[in-house]
A and B are shown apart, each in its own frame.
Chain A
Amino acid sequence: MTMIREMLRRLSYLLRREHYLSELEEEMRLHTALRAEAMRDGGMSAEQASAEARRRFGNTTKVTEASRDMWGLGRLDQIGQDVRFATRRLRARPGLSGPVIVVLALGIGATTAVFSAVDAAMLRSLPFPREHELVSLTNAAVPFGPESNERDQGRGLDLADVADMTNIFSGAAAYASGGVNLSDPDRPLRVKAGVVTATFFPTLGVTPFSGRTFTVEEGRPNGPLAVILSHALWQRQYGGSPMLGKRIMLHGRSYTVVGVMQPGFDFPDESDLWIPMSVPTTFATFEPFRGFLPSRVIARVRPGVSIQAAAGQVLARWRQVAEPARGEERDNLNLFLDEVRAAGAAVPLHRELLGDRRRALLVLLGATVLLMMIACANVANLLVSDAAVRRREIAVREVLGATRPRVVRQLLAESVLLALAGGIVGIILAPAALTIVRAMMPAGLAGVARAQLDLRVLGFAAVLAIATSVLFGLWPAIGATRGDASAAIKSGGGHGATPGLGRVRRALVVVEVALTVMLLIAAGLMLRSFQRLMAENTGMNPDQVATLETSFPRNTPDSDRRRIINGVVDRLSGQPGIVAAGAVNDLPLRGGGGISVTIDVPGAPPLERGEYRMARFLFASGGYFDALGITKLRGRTFTTNDATGPPVAVVSNAMAETYWPGLDPLGRYFTLRGDTSRITVVGIVADVREAGLDKAPFPQMYRPIDVGPLNAAVVVRGTLPPRTLISRLTDAMRAVAPGQPVYNVRMMEQVIGASVLPRRTNTMLIALVAGLALMLSALGVYAVVAYAVAQRTRELGIRAALGASGRDLLTLVSGETVFVVGLGITIGLAGAWALSRVLASLLYEVDPRDPATFVIVPLVLLLPAVAATVIPALRAARVDPTQVMRSD
């Protein structure tokens, strides 16, 4: 209580310092006056009396100061003083504080943004109880069968096997995710559905917000149709009104709402709702999702069981399962088994979800840390030069009685203040940077790990800023206070000779240049990769092509689907400004799986065991090839007669060359495995990259779309501006089928753009980081050369007086750059060479030691380095000898 009162009193004195000071002075004035009067009364002369009174009182200034100290907040007060002093100094020197704050802000902003992505993706645990127990089982299948429980020998270990291993697993589940139409009377909606086994929620250890999770019955084939809503969808679509027991229409079927999940839970893949995956799965399970969804089997290891031990047991079980298989099945299983061995039979779920984005994120983090190091080196450089300039000022202060700790503390206050300012600006920049970095988040972690700036990330930024300031502020501060004060004062001018600091600065710039070379090489390699990727022949011409996608409910009759698809295509085809229109069941590069089938080709050479003739199975209309700009190589595409006539197919070039090597496939036929009808090849078209721009095209075959697929994309090519083209497309759809929901309405270029977005972002970010690094290094080189010139002004002046030409002086000064930059480039190239393997997996058809990149990068760096030299060097060349001689 008394402590608090004392603090309040002190605070009021602190706030009304001037008032209390004048009171004190008045009091003391009265004192000396009264004393003097008393002396005069004692018989002294007025003059003697006032002198005696002053003598007896003592040093007024000192007394005032001592009294004022009594009011102070002790150490806090001193810190306040240091900060005030530092603020004044920094404001007085915008030439120093400006660059330092900008450089730090860039470094901290970039590092913070990248760190928050890495933190969300890799450091943070998944939002499930005891998530470290959750594993993903490589290649484990969900048993598939109409109703039989018989093992599908060709598929190896399945969910039932995993669930049976109760000694190591306490639970096992499978899940998949896909888009489905939610028919709402008001507005049809495309939502993301998690398709999950009844064991899914208990295995993850999550409970519903209201209602329940799936029952065993609901998880059986042909079980009751139940749906669980996400909290977000419940709020958004149904306004949080009671939904339990109500029915909603999904993909044309009626599902009963049995539960709502906790707010924030939307695993997997930002699901809006969850529907059961039956075990064994049936055709009905995946029917709303193009007939297939890749599913993942997960399990929870029992407490005390290590993941390695579990993986070992699962692998042993794999071998047991593979044991009885013979012939083709055996070969097939061995392929699976090889993959299981390579990837690990049971992998921590977190690592599995992170997938291949792990390395890209780490490389980006590494690059950003390098940038941060360059930024720090730059700041250190600026502070060291400032310290050198201030040696004299500091020495004077020491001579006047400032203690060394006090001086160090004041210098430190300056650098902490700078770091904080830089940090704050950096944190302001970070959200913008984070929006870009987000594109690199692993798809598997969508919804589970959200990259955002929170306390943890801000803490990281704060630690970064403070560490930077202490490291790079304290060191020059100590350096500046060391040494002989009198020497510093005597040496004159601001540019007292400080060879030690000069060496430090040169070393810093060498480091900067070396790190920059490494970043530039990384950026160069990635840019070349991206260039190669984009130059890759996609097999189509995406310019001026608009697309939309649609899905039909299962209960839509085939004839209706056919009517709608063909109706839209026909409606578009006749319009002016439309060059071609067509439809396909699965748009290239849209992401997501596709159907591949095994085919038999009569007369083809026999296959090795374990080999198959596979082909991507697509349905297209005759106009599709023109609409997407797929080159027709030979033969024809589909006509209206193909719907009713004998089965025909258009095949890709790769399919023709792979399955009819050296033969003309036109007029030849093949069959689908398990089917006898002969499909005749009527045309050959170019290969289309559909799985990804970086994936070589698979053999592809097209059949007429007249089967009326459940999913379709309409593609239209026109001469109209994109926006008009897109509205023509949606108008046509609305005219033909008013209530039919459409999604992914976009230009084909956007489809391709989206497919390369993570790689583009990664490349762009590394290039950006390298560009910033280049800028900072140029600044560093400039600072060193300018400093050297300033330091040697006198010497240069004398040389000029003795007859050295401007050119001689230029050569002399640029020697500095040649040394610093040359050494930096050499070290950087060596470093990049040594670290080339880190990047290899991120590159596309570019050697990580690509000679061209290694030659071009030093040249790129040389340009700003030359500029950074020439500017101060020209100043040196213009040195006026007479002025220099006079100046000191």
Chain B
Amino acid sequence: MSDPIPPGTLDMLILQTLARLEELHGFEIADAIQGASAGVLQVEEGSLYPALQRMLMKGWLSAEWGKTRDNRRARYYRLTAAGRKQLAREKESYRRVTFAIGQILQPAPE
């Protein structure tokens, strides 16, 4: 069974996906997140779009209309320089938080 993604991490996942795969449209992003997490993480697909719009507004992403392989119009998203910086920031803070949580969850020393 797949788990819903933890709150607040959707932005980071989208940024990371785009960092890895360069240029994707919405459907591909949803699939990529699911695939990369080996099916563990499942996005409620609709929620991707408000997140994409927000990141567009912030200037982390740029978008351009293009054609899919079977020649359908789709909006392709790319990371901007600001988006790359944001990803680094988010990863860093994520690492710190998970490290801290890991410390807390470690079995107490004998």
Contact = CB atoms under 8 A, between A and B. Distances in A.
Interface of A: 2, 5-6, 9-10, 13, 23-24, 26-28, 30-31, 34-35, 56-60, 62-63, 66-71
Contact of B49 (A28, A35, A56): A28
Interface string B16-47: 00000000011100100000000000001111
Contacts of A26: 73
Contact of A9 (B44, B57, B73, B75): B57
Contact of B50 (A9, A35, A63): A63
B49 A6 contact: no
A57 B45 contact: yes
Given A27-B75, A30-B27, A30-B72, A10 B49 contact: no
A7 to B, nearest CB: 10
Nearest to A53: B45
A23 B75 contact: yes
B46 A27 contact: no
A9 B82 CA distance: 15
Contacts of B54: 70
A2 B59 contact: yes
A67 B50 contact: yes
B58 interface: yes
B47 A58 contact: yes
Contacts of A71: 53, 57
Given A30-B26, A71-B53, 16 more contacts: A2-B82, A9-B57, A9-B59, A13-B57, A27-B25, A30-B72, A31-B26, A31-B27, A31-B30, A56-B44, A57-B45, A59-B46, A62-B46, A68-B53, A70-B53, A70-B56
Given A56-B45, A60-B46, A10 B26 contact: no
B104 to A, nearest CB: 33
A883 to B, nearest CB: 53
A27 B82 contact: no
Nearest to B50: A66
A68 B50 CA distance: 8
Interface residues of B, number: 23
Contacts of B74: 27, 30
A58 B45 contact: yes
Given A30-B27, A31-B30, A34-B27, A24 B53 contact: yes
21 contacts: A2-B59, A2-B82, A6-B58, A6-B59, A23-B65, A26-B73, A27-B25, A27-B26, A27-B74, A30-B73, A31-B27, A31-B45, A35-B45, A56-B44, A57-B46, A63-B49, A63-B50, A66-B49, A67-B52, A69-B50, A70-B54
Nearest to A65: B50
Contacts of B73: 26, 30
Contacts of B53: 24, 67-68, 70-71
Contacts of A60: 46
Nearest to B65: A23
For B53, B54, B56, B59, which residue has the most chain A Cβ atoms within 10 angstroms? B53
Nearest to A7: B57
Interface in B44-94: 44-47, 49-50, 52-54, 56-59, 65, 72-75, 82
Q: What DSSP secondary structure best describes chain B's contact surface? A: helix
Contacts of A67: 49-50, 52-53
B39 to A, nearest CB: 14
A27 B49 contact: yes
A59 B49 CA distance: 12
A145 B26 CA distance: 103
B29 to A, nearest CB: 10
A30 to B, nearest CB: 6
A6 B57 contact: yes
Q: What DSSP secondary structure best describes chain A's contact surface? A: helix
Interface of B: 25-27, 30, 44-47, 49-50, 52-54, 56-59, 65, 72-75, 82
A6 B60 CA distance: 11
Contacts of A13: 57
B65 to A, nearest CB: 8
Contact of A10 (B52, B57, B82): B57
Contacts of A59: 46
Contacts of B25: 27, 30
A13 B58 CA distance: 13
A63 B47 contact: yes
A499 B72 CA distance: 65
Chain A to chain B: the 6 pairs with minimum beta-carbon distance, closest first: A58-B46, A66-B50, A63-B46, A70-B53, A70-B54, A67-B53
Nearest to B31: A38
Nearest to A30: B74
Contacts of B65: 23
A10 B25 CA distance: 22
For A23, A34, A58, which residue has the most chain B Cβ atoms within 10 angstroms? A34
B37 to A, nearest CB: 16
Nearest to A28: B49
A418 B27 CA distance: 49
A35 B58 CA distance: 28
Contacts of B56: 9, 70
Nearest to B55: A70
B45 A70 contact: no
A58 B44 contact: yes
A69 B51 CA distance: 11
B80 to A, nearest CB: 11
A707 to B, nearest CB: 93
Given A23-B75, A27-B75, A70 B46 contact: no
A67 B53 CA distance: 6
Nearest to A24: B49
Given A70-B53, A70-B54, A71-B53, A28 B82 contact: no
B108 to A, nearest CB: 42
Contact of B57 (A23, A31, A70): A70
Nearest to B42: A56
Contacts of B57: 6, 9-10, 13, 70-71
A27 B65 CA distance: 10
A102 B49 CA distance: 49
Contacts of B72: 30
A6 B54 CA distance: 11
B24 to A, nearest CB: 12
A409 to B, nearest CB: 24
Contacts of A9: 56-57, 59
Nearest to A68: B53
Contacts of B27: 30-31, 34-35
B85 to A, nearest CB: 11
Nearest to A26: B73
A207 B30 CA distance: 79
A584 B27 CA distance: 104
Nearest to A10: B57
B66 to A, nearest CB: 12
A718 B50 CA distance: 91
B77 to A, nearest CB: 10
B15 to A, nearest CB: 16
A281 B30 CA distance: 101
Nearest to A64: B49
A70 B50 contact: yes
Contacts of B47: 58, 63, 66
A5 B59 CA distance: 8
Nearest to A5: B59
Contacts of A10: 57
Nearest to B51: A70
A35 B31 CA distance: 9
A49 to B, nearest CB: 14
Contacts of A24: 49, 53
Contacts of B50: 63, 66-67, 69-70
A137 B54 CA distance: 73
Contacts of A62: 46
B32 to A, nearest CB: 13
Contacts of B75: 23, 27
Contact of B46 (A6, A23, A28): A28
A32 to B, nearest CB: 8
Contacts of A31: 26-27, 30, 45
